[in-house]
Chains A and B, each alone.
Chain A
Amino acid sequence: MAKKKKPKRFYDYSLLFCIIFLTAFGLLMIYSASSYMAQLKYDGNAGYFMMRQLVIASAGLVFALIISKMDYHWYARFAVFAYVLSYVLMIAVSLFGREVNGKKRWLGIGALSFQPTEFVKIALIVLLAAVIVQMGNKVNTWKGMLFVFGLAFPIGVIVGANNLSSGIIILGIAFVMLYVACKKHMFFYGCGAAAVVAIITAGPLATFLEKINLLQPYQLSRIHVWQNPEAYAREGGYQVLQGLYAIGSGGLFGKGLGESIQKMGFVPEAQNDMIFSIICEELGLFGAVSVILIFLFMIYRFMLIAQNAPDLFGTMLVVGVMGHIAIQVILNIAVVTNTIPNTGITLPFISYGGTSVLFLMLEMGMVLSVSNQIKLEK
């Protein structure tokens, strides 16, 4: 792989288009989902949520484009620093964090506030990519795997203590990166199979775990809500049901953009985690499947970039981002459709959330930057 002068470089415009499309679609859906409640809450300002998201997403996109033109090896240097910073931020948030709905998830600096967990995700991706490159073949040994996992586990647990779903995503990212990096197969498939079995047998399993005091009663009740939201409407099934009502009333082609009724206060904070249910209601199965396919296309682009990245570091970075986006999309839709128990996960690019969209854009910048390092064969 000899270097050539001014080699023709690749830039994944498909991915870029995909990002812009999803973000724009997200803004549209945020407006649709939130305008009714926003004008009630913010004195007639129907575009309150959409405008905030628009500003941050635009800024994020600019950052992404800048990052995409940089050499991604450059920020490998900050990997350890970012990793340590993650701990600092997570400890800070659990000490000084702003409490919203009984959970300390926000760290405020002056007028700005953000969710450090989003930073943790990107920091971990960079760190693990760097570490895996450093380890070389050692990653194929049990000891090496344990080491990599050992880096992700503590921060995952700290995050998970306050935000279970983010903890799961962080461990999921590590799992996916390790899977791609190392030689072993069966171990990972075994873990995956175990997870599927756990979901299928969740009911009896949870009852059993609660009996032997491994599970708190409130966690068991979440399982009950998930399995039968109608019967446990008061314990939290109400929210789940509202989402299902929205999805169910969408039908094949939906009620039409802006025609959702469920967004009128029935689905709580419809612009957040549950936005996919409003997409279903307004755009129907057709719209929902289209959104899933666009995400799938995005993941496909990640795969292509990962496969063609100039080096392992690039591959691992993209794989990390791919895992992150994929896990979040799948879990979000699974939650909204009540396929798994309810836990707060946002839908990337579409759900309202400044921190989320900002760091997602940074990740996209990284991926585009990797794509930009791909030298095209002449």
Chain B
Amino acid sequence: MRSSHTRHREKTAVLFLLLSLCAVGLIGRLAYLMLHRAEYYSQMAEDLHQRERTIKAARGNIVDAKGKVIATNRTVCTISVIYNQVKDREEVIRILCEELDMAEADVRKKVEKRSSREIIRTNVDKETGDRIRNRKLAGVKVDEDYKRYYPYDSLASKVLGFTGGDNQGIIGLEVEYEPYLKGINGTILTMTDAAGVEIDNAFEDRIEPVSGNDLHISLDVNIQQYAEQAAYETMERKGARQVSVIVMNPKNGEIMAMANVPEFNLNEPFTLNTEAPAGISSKEKQELLNQMWRNPAINDTYEPGSTFKIITAAAGLEAGVVKLEDTFSCPGFRVVEDRKIRCHKVGGHGGETFLQGAMNSCNPVFIDVGQRLGIDNYYRYFEQFGLRKKTGIDLPGEAATIMHRKENMGLVELATVSFGQSFQITPIQLITTASSIINGGRRVTPHFGVKVTNGDKTVVHRFSYPEGDEILSEETSAQMRFVLEQVVAEGSGNKAKLSGYRIGGKTATSEKLPRSLKKYISSFIGFAPADDPQVIALITIDEPQGVYYGGTIAAPVIADIFKNILPYLGIEETEEESTSEPGNGS
């Protein structure tokens, strides 16, 4: 008995020791979890508990060339009600109805709904929001928020673009420069329980938002306004579908204006600018909105027609296959292989020099130049001038050139391409290529973006557009300036004449496809001063009614625009007549 008692004592002691050992093991395990792994697990736990509430960052302004703000933010308020905190429900309903001008039933439904936070109305203007806040109603929250605001409503709408609900750019420059404009949203981190309910008095972490930077663009509000006004007048006078005007600096590609009328109101981007047919489905409406938002100057291609003769002429002169004084004869048509291609002048221009052919915009002359170049050469120049590539403009959705594949190109195709038919380019491509031809032969990149500044007005980024390839010799460029000046001075572009200024340019009247519809795009591309171009402008009039010749209806509009903007740009009138020496033709 004694021995067994001892044994029990011993075994109990061993048992205790073994249990202590287990306890030590568990303490070790705990120490590992709570010291070594503490950071890992507490981070995971924090991620689980914290709820982020976003504080919207103010989006950067868009500023024009003269420092005018054309896209900015307006403070708006969101009014919401927290059910548990409302004391006098009736009073809250009454005051909200009164201030927000809402039906009582709607407000009552929301105020009496048992939810953690019920939004009564968003986008309430600041004054109303402040008034409601000053009433100090328990349970009514007034949160300030930013809403994009465009002070000029519809100005350059298709260029600027607008923003969506999350303050993100949807079209135009707002999309293109999103990273600069957007800023960094701030956050309020609050603790929540497992059901996601915020815990009162819990530690709140606040990360302040960083405002977006301001984007400075080359667009000039005054020029844009004038271009839009001229475009609207033309559209109305000619009953056109739409009119686009691009005004650009041919030396560096800075775009001063890009009007696409009808424009739309950027502050109401989801309201159609035309009368919508009654009872359209939301899908159809979206389709119409997409059409309204399109920027035809860069998103759509067209057959450039006679304005493209600039390119054919430049290629011919550059290659040396034609000189200004070379003579041609126009019987009113030209037969290429088995096809008879007509000149716009039915009776023909008769005998004429190349220069006269250009001034007359004579198709057979340019067909001949094209044929002299041959398919290979023509195609080479087409590529060399950058026409195959996109211009690289800083707007989204630039359309690519639609051109024959070289192996599919026969002499007939070559002939039609020579005077601007059977292929399509965008208006921005045309004006960019024309700029490059007249500016001394350097390809430019059309653009709006100039620089980005932060809140302190210090420049944080300056966009650079490296000078492009030399696509043409300076001599050919000078010859082209001369030729195009003659077109305006005495040729088909004479309606673009502007006393006191040397204007160069080229008209076009493109037949839209299918040709049987007899619909036209009339256009004119002009630049000034002709000897040292500082501004180039292109107008395209889509489907004008009545007289549709570019030389008659498009050229005067550019003259009118130039008349107003040249003095504004500081380009002085010269009294001398335009007689600059043509370049040496050889």
Instruction: List residues of chain A with CB under 8 Å of any chain B CB.
Output: 36, 137, 176, 179-181, 183, 192, 241, 244-252, 261-262, 264-266, 280, 284-285, 288-289, 292-293, 295-296, 299-300, 303, 306-307, 312, 315, 319, 322-323, 326, 330, 333-334, 337, 339
Chain B residues in 8 Å Cβ range of A284: 34
Q: Tell yes or no: B19 within 8 A of A by CB.
A: yes
Q: Tell yes or no: B346 within 8 A of A by CB.
A: no
Mark interface residues in B29-45 (1 if CB within 8 Å of A CB, else 0): 11101110110111011
Q: Tell yes or no: B191 within 8 A of A by CB.
A: yes
Interchain CB contact under 8 A, B44 and A245 = yes
Chain A residues in 8 Å Cβ range of B291: none
Query: Which of B77-85, B157-165, B192-200 is the contact stretch?
Result: B192-200
- Pick the residue among A244, A261, A312, A330 that contacts B33 (CB under 8 A): A244
Chain B residues in 8 Å Cβ range of A262: 45
For A244, the closest partner residue in chain B by CB is B41
Task: Give Cα distance in the complex from A296 to B16, angstroms.
Answer: 9
Given contacts A265-B193, A288-B30, A339-B26, contact A180 B45 (CB under 8 A): no
Chain A residues in 8 Å Cβ range of B46: 249
Total of A-B residue pairs, C-beta within 8 Å:
126
Interchain CB contact under 8 A, B45 and A307 = no
Q: Tell yes or no: B569 within 8 A of A by CB.
A: no
Chain A residues in 8 Å Cβ range of B12: 180, 303, 306-307, 315, 319, 322
B contact residues, total (Cβ < 8 Å): 38
Interchain CB contact under 8 A, B45 and A330 = no
Interchain CB contact under 8 A, B19 and A326 = yes
Given A251-B42, A326-B19, 20 more A-B residue pairs with CB atoms under 8 Å apart are: A181-B8, A192-B18, A245-B41, A245-B44, A248-B37, A248-B44, A249-B41, A249-B42, A251-B34, A261-B191, A265-B194, A266-B45, A280-B30, A289-B27, A296-B20, A299-B16, A299-B19, A303-B15, A312-B5, A330-B22
Chain A residues in 8 Å Cβ range of B4: 137, 312
Interchain CB contact under 8 A, A179 and B11 = yes
Q: Tell yes or no: B121 within 8 A of A by CB.
A: no
Interchain CB contact under 8 A, A285 and B34 = yes
Chain B residues in 8 Å Cβ range of A337: 26, 29-30, 33
Chain A residues in 8 Å Cβ range of B45: 245-246, 248-249, 261-262, 266
- Pick the residue among A266, A315, A322, A330 that contacts B194 (CB under 8 A): A266
Task: Give Cα distance in the complex from A262 to B45, angstroms.
Answer: 8
Interchain CB contact under 8 A, A261 and B26 = no
Interchain CB contact under 8 A, B42 and A264 = no
From A244, A264, A284, A330, residue with most partner B Cβ within 10 Å? A264
Task: Give Cα distance in the complex from A288 to B33, angstroms.
Answer: 12
Task: Give Cα distance in the complex from A97 to B26, angstroms.
Answer: 35
CB proximity to A under 8 Å, residues B24-83: 26-27, 29-31, 33-35, 37-38, 40-42, 44-46, 48-49
Task: Give Cα distance in the complex from A289 to B49, angstroms.
Answer: 26
Interchain CB contact under 8 A, A295 and B23 = yes
Q: Tell yes or no: B206 within 8 A of A by CB.
A: no
Task: Give Cα distance in the complex from A176 to B12, angstroms.
Answer: 9
Task: Give Cα distance in the complex from A315 to B199, angstroms.
Answer: 52
A-B contact pairs, 19 of them (CB 8 A): A137-B4, A244-B33, A244-B37, A247-B34, A248-B44, A249-B46, A251-B34, A252-B34, A261-B193, A261-B199, A265-B193, A285-B30, A292-B26, A296-B23, A299-B16, A303-B15, A307-B9, A315-B12, A330-B22
For B42, the closest partner residue in chain A by CB is A249
